[in-house]
Amino acid sequence: MSRVIIDSISISPQLASGIKNLEDIVQSDFQRARKYLSPFALGHGPRAAIEARTKNPHHSGSSSQPSPSGTGRAITVNDARSSNTWTGANNVFKADATCQSTRKPVTVDYGSGSFTGTEYTGTFILGGQASGLRIENQSFAVAKEAQGFDGVDGILGIGPVDLTSSTVAGESSVPTVTDNAYKQGLISTEMIGISYQPSQAEGGGNMANGSLMFGSVDKTKITSEVTWVPITTQSPASKYWGIDQKITYGSSTESILELTAGIVDTGTTLIMIAEDAFLKYKALIGAEMDEKTSLLKLSADKVKNLQSMYFHVGGTTFELTANGQIWPRALNAALGGDADACYLVFASTGQNSGSGLDFINGFTFLQRFYSCYDVSGARVGLATTPWTEAETN
């Protein structure tokens, strides 16, 4: 058995199509949350990026080479909307001898984007031609029309296979890259581990670095044992990478959100919590809503009093420090905020707790904690990292 590490995914503070400022990020996350809460929402499981050169507010960069046609394709980390793998959003796909069209139409709507096209089968190479993971007979789509994917060519879907249900005409489901890698004996466990680092600086520096591992946990990225919890039974969170979690604030362990269901999502930028929990957090820390950005804002005299938030998952408490709650100030000006302002990374889902999806642990949470997604075991894992207590913001 082998494991493949897709490492050093460079992240730059470029913006997704239609995203120009912090307010756009808040609105995008809010619309995503509404989509998740919709009774018609489909799919779950994260999608991770290989050779990402996306203009996304939270993940972009370049890495190894997924290659259905023998040529590298730009593929993005995105949200937890589906598990379809596809290409051709911006570059014309030219099929070679390693792939062929099934002539079956495919359509996927992500809420923040969509595509229609045709399903193909072919060889995928993840991690480079010489030493990468070679997956035979992989199904993928070639886009005819795509919206919301400027600067990136598609998505590598790594969630459970059932998330592709009803996306390809005449197919009940489509095997994912992870599914085929496991069935072909290339990885010993149908699992993905994802790590990020906190955002660093505007401009030439990377916004963050990330790595993706197929088949096991990358123990070089963690500083604790992995806490595993089963997918929650509460709907609609159970449709995604949903977990049960409680959130408290400060040394007084003031409850912000009682034990409830929500999701872990690489594609949501902020940490979203139910409206009643959001208002309680806002009052406890003395924050104000900033009209310019639609983010919570703390005055300078209150920043020093900001305490940690505690995420209680499966018997383990994960501490999000005060610094981890602050939006990277180095990126404020680039996204239309005040350069020295202290904005916070929490936002409201727009619904009170009890909805069945009361939180979204988004990218700003995952910059501080390693996350693992076990497809076969239907469970999610979290662990601390060297960056959990970083003071970068």
Region 224-245: mean pLDDT is 95
Say if residue 388's pLDDT is above 90. Answer: yes
Say if residue 209's pLDDT is above 80. Answer: no
Strand partners of residue 313: 316
Q: Which of 153, 265, 290, 374 is catalytic?
A: 265
Q: Which of 29, 79, 153, 290 is catalytic?
A: 79
DSSP-derived 3-state class of residue 2: coil
For the stretch 272-312, pLDDT in tens is 999 999 999 999 999 999 988 899 999 999 999 999 999 99
Domains 42-187 and 216-384 agree in fold: yes
Q: What is the mean pLDDT of the chain?
A: 81
Q: How confident is residue 146, by pLDDT bands cut at 50, 70 and 90?
A: very high
Say if residue 93's pLDDT is above 70. Answer: yes
Phi/psi zone of residue 38: left (φ > 0), alpha (ψ -120 to 50 degrees), beta? beta
Region 359-369: mean pLDDT is 95
Say if residue 73's pLDDT is above 70. Answer: no
The CATH architecture of the domain made up of 42-187 is Beta Barrel (2.40)
Region 4-14: mean pLDDT is 41
Instruction: Please check whether residue 192 is in contact with residue 115, taking contact to mean a CB–CB distance below 8 angstroms.
Output: no
Region 142-154: mean pLDDT is 84
Location of structure tokens 């913006």: 15
Q: What is the per-residue pLDDT for 266?
A: 82
What span, in angstroms and rounded, lies between the C-alpha atoms of 44 and 113?
16
φ, ψ for residue 109, nearest 5 deg: -115, 120
Q: Name 252's Cβ contacts closer than 8 Å, sequence gap at least 6.
A: none
Q: How confident is residue 372, by pLDDT bands cut at 50, 70 and 90?
A: very high
Percent of the chain with pLDDT over 70: 78
Domain borders along the chain are 42-187, 216-384
79 belongs to the catalytic site: yes
Q: What is the per-residue pLDDT for 310?
A: 98
Instruction: Please check whether residue 229 is in contact with residue 325, taking contact to mean a CB–CB distance below 8 angstroms.
Output: no
Nearest to 215 by CA among 127, 84, 120, 155: 127
Q: What is the per-residue pLDDT for 79?
A: 41
Nearest to 369 by CA among 336, 320, 297: 320
**Fold entry, domain 216-384:** Cathepsin D, subunit A; domain 1 (2.40.70)
What span, in angstroms and rounded, lies between the C-alpha atoms of 45 and 241?
5
Region 138-143: mean pLDDT is 93
Region 54-74: mean pLDDT is 39
What span, in angstroms and rounded, lies between the C-alpha atoms of 310 and 111?
30
Angle, alpha carbons 71-180-67 (nearest 5°): 5
DSSP character string of 239-267:
GSSEEEEEEEETTTTEEEEEEEEEEE-TT
Q: What's this model's pTM, rounded to 2 decimal places?
A: 0.83
340 belongs to the catalytic site: no
Say if residue 208's pLDDT is above 70. Answer: no
Q: What is the per-residue pLDDT for 141?
A: 94
What span, in angstroms and rounded, lies between the C-alpha atoms of 20 and 18?
6
